[in-house]
Amino acid sequence: MLLKTLSLAVVAALSFAAPALAQDVTVTLTGVEARGGALLTALQTRGQFMQAAAAHGDRVDRPAAGTLRVTFRDVAPGDYALMVLHDEDGDGRMKLNGSMPGEGWAMVNGDALRSTPTFDEVRFTVTTSGADITVPMAYPR
């Protein structure tokens, strides 16, 4: 459920325009692997969390291995969840191996998750100065 919703949210975010106010949010993704496909990223508000909607979204085709920065422009202050999917096969959805992720993913505090997260477990705050966060990617082995 988590992974299916993550996939829908990231894909939906790519079709929404950002409001023309506020500050930038810079997300640094560490441990990105060069597995082809696209890296889909989204910011969701509490009301959008785990739904097929997002406040902001971005796509990086064929990401290189290493560290990658994504900047979301004009993000209003408030609390957000970050959703990242490394859509290796290009189908816009998280591939599963049983109940485990079959493609790379990331969320704030993702390394501590053991079940479907709540918004409060994965949220971060955007202030009137914006935000700069670093999140590690998780890949199946």
Has residue 62 been placed in a domain? Answer: yes
Q: How do beta strands 66-75 and 23-32 pair?
A: antiparallel
List, for residues 124-137, the tens digit of each pLDDT value: 999 999 999 999 99
Residue-range definition of the domain harbouring residue 81: 2-136
Has residue 141 been placed in a domain? Answer: no
Has residue 119 been placed in a domain? Answer: yes
Both tokens assigned to 139: 């890949």
Has residue 9 been placed in a domain? Answer: yes
Has residue 122 been placed in a domain? Answer: yes
CA distances (Å), origin 52, targets 23, 37, 66, 81, 111: 24, 21, 29, 13, 23
Weakest-pLDDT range from 3-12, 41-50, 78-87, 110-119 = 3-12
Contact 12, 54 (CB under 8 A): yes
Specify the 3-state DSSP secondary structure of 12: helix
pLDDT (0 to 100) of residue 18: 47
List, for residues 20-63, the tens digit of each pLDDT value: 467 999 999 999 999 999 999 999 999 999 888 889 999 999 99
Q: Which residue has the higher pLDDT, 14 or 29?
A: 29
Coarse DSSP helix, strand, coil percentages of the chain, rounded to the nearest 5 percent: 15, 45, 45
Domain count of the chain?
Answer: 1
